[in-house]
Amino acid sequence: MAKGEGKKKGKGKLGVVKPVELNETDAHYLKLALKEAKRGRYTTSPNPAVGCVIVRDGEILGQGFHHAAGQPHAEIMALRDAGGDVAGACVYVTLEPCCHYGRTPPCAKALIEAGVKRVVIGSRDPNPKVAGGGIAMLQEAGIEVVLAGGKLNERCLKLNRAFFKSITTNRPFVITKLGMSIDGKIALSDGTSKWITNEDSRSDGQRLRLWADVLITTAATVRVDNPRYNVRIDELPAEVMTGLDTALIRQPPKVVIDTHGTFCQDYDPELIKPYSIFSQGESFIAVGTKQNLAKIHEAVVATEEGAVPKLPVSRVKTGWKVNAERIIASGPNFVVERFTDRVSILVLPQDRDHVSLEALLDFLGSKEMRVAMVEAGAALTSAFLNQGLVDECYCYLAPMFLGATAQSGLKLPEPPTLQAAQRFAQMDCKVIADNVLVVLSQPLRLPAVKRTSRKKTALSPAKTASASAKKSASSAQKAATGAAKKTSASRAKKVTAKKTASKASS
């Protein structure tokens, strides 16, 4: 038993347990539980992927993993696999057992009733409905609880990083995918792009789609490429297919950003018929409005079910006009309108000439979409990166150069300094035949720039730097003049020297 393991009833605060390095035996069985959990990582959303192994006297009694939302959790699957007596056993589970009634009963209660003696947990569950409650329930029943620390804890956290981010922020985990030449180009100047990356890289891209709960693209991409953006099961990597229950695979919904509503003008369904992306599954056409969506949402909430809400009078002349008779859902910064059987219109606040990406993520979060994948051209990908909304960036690099006039993969503005550049704390590389996959993760959020003026008008970086330099020079000159009056001639020379140096450095 590892040092500092768990707390029993009556010892310490319930629900609180310090992570510890596991001994060799505990580490071995938790790794087996982690292996089980990975079998469900592409099918459990909106739930996390969890694996469980039950052991007594060195013998594995049962093991299992969570397959899909609404189905039994990993602990229940392992108990069923054990098929009977597990009293006094040790349970190894990758995530803190739940303690609330949702689609299924609480797993912590099931473990207590089964009479287990000890539970080793890979990571805490930050879900507000759990958040230590599962640990507390076990401890209160006198069960010893151990929380893994170190590398094993990190591996358990990484497996469910998207769920953890989504459940704590109410926004999805955002990933982007880029297939590029070494010089950062995604197509020739005439649009030719098939194929820059190799077949194995494209297969790995299908894995990302499988992971995603929603795909985000633009009207421009749809018009140019006419993509389906489906998960092509027959193109998935072999290692992903191993143990994957293909019956549980669902095609991710799509969001097509069409700020000016060109695909749904006058609610004409004929406008979308030529495009494959709208032909199957659920889709949303995201349009921009300058109407007050918060007030519209208040009107919807105040309306009896089945009745048409009376919307506030709007004098806005541009942007999408919300149709009260077509509203099927709303939130403080979005409205969903009915368009066709499978396509809805998602009305979002309009930032200048584009829909608000933050409002889009709020909407997706409200639908419990854990992973949002951006598959589009340079403009949208760059917008997500520039606003600090990307959690992981997948760059597939091919060994070729396409030249200065080819289409660039990104259109980011140049930062004023190297220190202000968009950065990620983690970079992982993987060789895929003659391609290289670079995965950027853990984005570094840049600190907010302090205002140098009380005026509301923001200065450009160049003007800000100039104004700051002038202010510094002026302050230095006043200080030097005051000092000169109070000091001797020899000291005045030093002040003059400092003043001269200050001007030179400015």
Query: Which amino acid, 498?
Result: K
Q: How big is the CA angle at 295 (ends 292 and 300), to the nearest 5 degrees?
A: 125
Using only C-alpha atoms, what is the Rg of the chain? 28
Could you tell me if 94 and 34 are in contact, meaning their C-beta atoms sit under 8 angstroms apart? Answer: yes
Q: Which of 36, 75, 337, 392 is catalytic?
A: 75
* Cα distances (angstroms) measured from residue 133 to each of 99, 110, 141: 6, 14, 12
Q: How many angstroms separate the most distant Cα atoms in the chain?
A: 97
Q: How big is the CA angle at 223 (ends 363 and 226), to the nearest 5 degrees?
A: 90
Q: Establish whether 368 is a catalytic residue.
A: no
Joined tokens for residue 412: 């980011």
* d(C-alpha 503, C-alpha 477), whole Å: 9
DSSP letter, residue 373 = E
* Cα distances (angstroms) measured from residue 53 to each of 34, 50, 91, 463: 9, 11, 6, 62
Joined tokens for residue 162: 């998207």
* d(C-alpha 407, C-alpha 316), whole Å: 37
In sequence order, which residues have a C-beta less than 8 Å from that of residue 319 and are 6 or more positions away? 287, 288, 289, 290, 291, 350
Query: Which amino acid, 46?
Result: P
As to burial, measured by CB atoms within 10 angstroms (0-12 exposed, 13-18 middle, 19+ buried), residue 304 is exposed
Could you tell me if 205 and 423 are in contact, meaning their C-beta atoms sit under 8 angstroms apart? Answer: no
DSSP letter, residue 17 = -
* d(C-alpha 120, C-alpha 89), whole Å: 11
Closest CA to 437 of 231, 113, 173, 201: 201
Could you tell me if 359 and 334 are in contact, meaning their C-beta atoms sit under 8 angstroms apart? Answer: yes
Closest CA to 119 of 77, 99, 89, 98: 89
In sequence order, which residues have a C-beta less than 8 Å from that of residue 255 and are 6 or more positions away? 214, 215, 216, 217, 283, 284, 286, 346, 360, 364
| Catalytic positions | 75
